[in-house]
Structure 1
């Protein structure tokens, strides 16, 4: 059954039926974006190495035998000249391929979700259409969800859901290009969910990152700001050691990858280059980074033995997970 609701100038339609309901995971814009170095809040993406090297890594991380087999299979695919080692160029080409796969997956998923949100096929989705589907995904009855976008007191949302929707509304507005009509085209909806696909949204993401980390308001990041710990008391020597390790990683990342001109400061332009996955230098930098982390004999190549000895770089460890969770609010 098709319902029509004139809650704004142009009626919108959506299909009734449990099988047609999208999940929240499908509807929410992505805070964590595969193959992007940083999150919106300034977090370094701890999954970055594995996302670029392994692809769909979640399915193998719980099974060590499967993980070992996957690592060896990937090694063979990357080793194009079959000389038993991975050169920087081979690594770079593989990383470019995996980056493109992430972009293609995002576009394919966006097509499917947008088609669901736009059943009349007019090529646009209004914010209130999205809002209704968001409520349906939260198991709000359909009639109640449709009324809520007219009278916002109909449904009582908890504080977390309200905050999420406020954030999403700002991101919706960021993605809404001229004319700014509160409706998103398929391309704009892709920017809403995956800002790395849009120059405008990527610029907004740079602003968000700098705003989260910049302490003195000069729109420039120092290494101290980039590596600053979030507020809060730290208890226990183990936790202090993790904090020091975390800060050292951030400092190294700043000096090696962010501060391009090595003047001790990162401008908006440098942060943009750092997070832009379409920047050609990204694959080269990541290949260099992986070799520097894994290459024990310093021949500027990676053997299968070196990779297997340092597979923790690609697979989650309890220590890495714990450290990431401790700073999840940063």
Structure 2
């Protein structure tokens, strides 16, 4: 539990490559199983970014403490010296929204070729695919892959384009890049997820497909404990009609539950695990007490932390 407090303070990103349009069944704020008994990857990914990151062990303890202090002060919006549940949830949502905004801005510059502050389907298609679709010098397998990606992008662009004029406003382009954030795109998110995991094309997800999407055992490899947990999740909770498959309705309940706020749950979890005096909030001392854990192997093995933006400090 000591490890993720550092992640908590350093900000939230979702490392999505600029042209990666695949909306998957990301487990709320991370694609890792949320099980502290087997590691803190979920908590790390809720607050860490892999892209454009710096290794945290480059910071001295003094630098770490100074930086954490500034970030805690930013999270503590009422300046009472404590981080409350509401402030922590707001921080998580703020980092998530900031990532989405920055991701859209980055892509906007790439695709708005005529600088008219709109992105047409033609602009997107030409920038993304160029001549790949018709280049017969490309291997057939690659061309088929490009065609599949093209069809998927075209379908999503049309769905995001509310007025059907073939041109995306910034709001529509945001829905295109991050459909999971827009209510009118959620049906498509479910459809894409089913298509990704449904290997035999029968329109539903079996237990084997469900497990195989995240874990494939190599020869002689022992199945990790979290896989057994996922099998239980599938059978006892995800497959609500107990027919052995997940249909579109069950997938929607899984990946886009109406009654679950990932930021709310993560804030509650982090306070529960880190609040030593059980007063429902985090003091500066409770946070700073974790500094000695920053450079231990579990954290540095994970890789990198996205450092908070300079203009936010």
After superposition, residues 212-223 of structure 1 pair within 5 angstroms as 212=196
- Cα deviations by residue, 1:62-110 (Å, 9 ceiling, x for unpaired): 5441783544432232234555543322211211222221232234234
Instruction: Report the secondary structure of 1:290's partner residue.
Output: helix
Moved more, 262-271 or 101-110: 262-271
TM-score by length of structure 2 reads 0.58
The answer to whether the 8 Å contact 2:100/2:178 transfers is: no
Residue 167 of structure 1 pairs with residue 149 of structure 2: yes
State the partner residue of 1:3: none
Shift of 1:176: 0.5
- For residues 62 and 122 of structure 1, the distance between their equivalents in structure 2, rounded to whole angstroms, comes to 38
Q: How many aligned residue pairs are there? A: 263
Matches within 5 A, 1:221-236: 230-235=215-220
Distance 2:230 2:195 in 1: 17
1:167-316 correspondence to structure 2 within 5 Å: 167-177=149-159, 183-186=166-169, 187-210=171-194, 212=196, 230-235=215-220, 240=222, 243-247=223-227, 267-274=250-257, 281-295=261-275, 298-302=278-282, 303-305=286-288, 307-308=290-291
TM-score, normalized by length of structure 1? 0.56
Report if the CA contact (8 A) 1:88-1:291 is conserved. Answer: yes
Q: Does 1:59 align with 2:43?
A: no
Q: Which runs of 5+ in 2 are unaligned?
A: 1-16, 35-39, 304-313
String of CA shifts for 1:303-329, please: whole Å, max 9, x gaps: 21465466599x9553x57xxxxxxxx
CA contact (8 A) 1:78 1:90 kept: yes
Decide whether the 8 Å contact of 2:215 with 2:227 is kept in 1.
no
> Of the candidates 7, 12, 29, which is equivalent to residue 20 of structure 2?
29
The answer for the alignment partner of 1:114 in structure 2 is: 111
Higher relative contact order (CA 8 A, sep 6+): 2
Q: CA deviation at 1:295?
A: 4.3
CA contact 1:110–1:190 (8 Å) conserved in 2 = no
Hey, what's the Cα distance between the residues in 2 that align with 1:179 and 1:77?
Answer: 37
CA contact (8 A) 1:195 1:205 kept: yes
The alpha-carbon distance between structure 1 residues 135 and 168, as it changes in their structure 2 partners (threshold 3 A), is closer
CA RMSD after TM alignment: 5.0
Q: Distance in 1 between matches of 2:80 and 2:51?
A: 26
Q: Which runs of 4+ in 1 moved over 6 A?
A: 42-48, 178-182, 214-218, 262-266
Cα separation, 2, equivalents of 1:157 and 1:246: 39
Instruction: Give deviations 1:221-243, integer Å, cap 9, x for gaps.
Output: 98x9866663343435xxx3xx4
What is the match of residue 102 of structure 1? 99
SS of residue in 2 equivalent to 1:267: helix
